[in-house]
């Protein structure tokens, strides 16, 4: 069920089986969208790495670089599992099972539009609260208190990597949520500010190329892919 890559256990089944596996867990869990950038950040920060490899975390192969790495190690994952799709599946599960969510991240305007769009698509979803992503991670007691007061089942954090992972890792033990997930720019996509790649590009594993074309500043972040794969090759040998 898992492929080991540089000490990380990567879920190697399909998305449907992941959701089934996730919803049967009774303990806190941090879902990590394991693309090379996120995993490489974990290799550089001990606090992140320790959380990523703990029994309270599950890493999904959200990135073509991670899929390639699994093939290099001859224990391939079944498919790339996109974090944005897992987020939506969790929202759907929560709506069907009357479980609640809390949202942290992005700008207030985008956050409001995201909530509006989600409520249209999932009218019975319970959103207990939200807060934008512009705050000091060392001085956010009011946010932690509000989340615990509302007591949501799921906490989605959309602040980009590694900031969102740092927030979750730092406060996971203090929060009463069951599921924690960093979702990057997913709020922006659902709000309509950013478009996801066409289906054919997603299927070919080149969604990253579409994002770089649309947002050229992302090209610097792609350097994590070869760095990550070089480490995998060295690890193999």
What mean pLDDT do residues 191-195 have? 85
Mean of all residue pLDDT scores within the chain:
93
Q: What is the Cα–Cα distance from 152 to 145, expressed in whole angstroms?
A: 12
**Can you tell me the mean pLDDT for 28-57?**
96
| pLDDT value of position 223 | 76
- DSSP tag of 136: -
Span 179-190, pLDDT tens digits: 999 999 999 999
pLDDT exceeds 70 at position 2? yes
Residue 91 CA: distances (Å) to CA of 100, 122, 131: 9, 8, 18
**Other C-beta atoms lying within 10 Å of the C-beta of residue 133:** 20
- Are the CB atoms for 216 and 208 separated by under 8 Å? no
Q: Which of 20-34, 118-132, 136-150, 198-212 has the lowest mean pLDDT?
A: 198-212
pLDDT at position 118 over 90: yes
Q: Is the pLDDT of residue 6 over 70?
A: yes
| pLDDT recorded at residue 221 | 67
Instruction: Name the band, by pLDDT with cuts 50, 70 and 90, for residue 217.
Output: low
Query: Is 113's pLDDT higher than 90?
Result: yes
Q: Count CB atoms within 10 A of the CB of residue 117.
A: 15
Residue 126: pLDDT band (50, 70, 90) is very high
Confidence of residue 218 (pLDDT cuts 50, 70, 90): low
Rounded to an integer, the average pLDDT of 161-179 is 97
Sheet holding 2-5, edge to edge: 2-5, 8-11, 57-60, 29-33, 179-182, 154-158, 100-105, 126-131
């Amino acid at each position: 069920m898992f492929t080991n890559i540089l000490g990380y256990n990567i879920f190697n089944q399909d998305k449907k089986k992941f959701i089934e596996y996730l919803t049967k867990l009774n303990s806190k869990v941090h879902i990590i969208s394991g693309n090379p950038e996120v995993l490489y950040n974990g290799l550089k920060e001990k606090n992140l790495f320790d959380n990523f490899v703990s029994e309270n975390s599950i890493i999904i192969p959200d990135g073509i670089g991670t899929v390639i790495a699994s093939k290099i190690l001859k224990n391939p994952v079944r498919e790339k599992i996109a974090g944005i799709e897992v987020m939506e599946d969790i929202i759907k599960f929560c709506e069907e099972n009357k479980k609640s969510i809390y949202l942290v991240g992005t700008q207030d305007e985008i956050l409001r539009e995201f909530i509006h769009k989600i409520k249209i698509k999932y009218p019975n979803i319970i959103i207990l609260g939200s807060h934008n992503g512009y705050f000091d991670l060392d001085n956010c007691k009011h946010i932690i208190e509000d989340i615990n007061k509302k007591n949501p089942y799921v906490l989605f954090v959309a602040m980009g990597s590694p900031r969102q992972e740092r927030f979750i890792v730092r406060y996971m033990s203090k929060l009463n949520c069951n599921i924690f997930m960093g979702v990057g720019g997913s709020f922006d996509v659902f709000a309509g500010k950013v478009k996801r790649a066409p289906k054919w590009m997603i299927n070919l594993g080149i969604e990253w190329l579409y994002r770089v074309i649309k947002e050229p500043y992302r090209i610097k972040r792609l350097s994590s892919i070869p760095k990550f794969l070089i480490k995998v090759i060295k690890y193999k040998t």
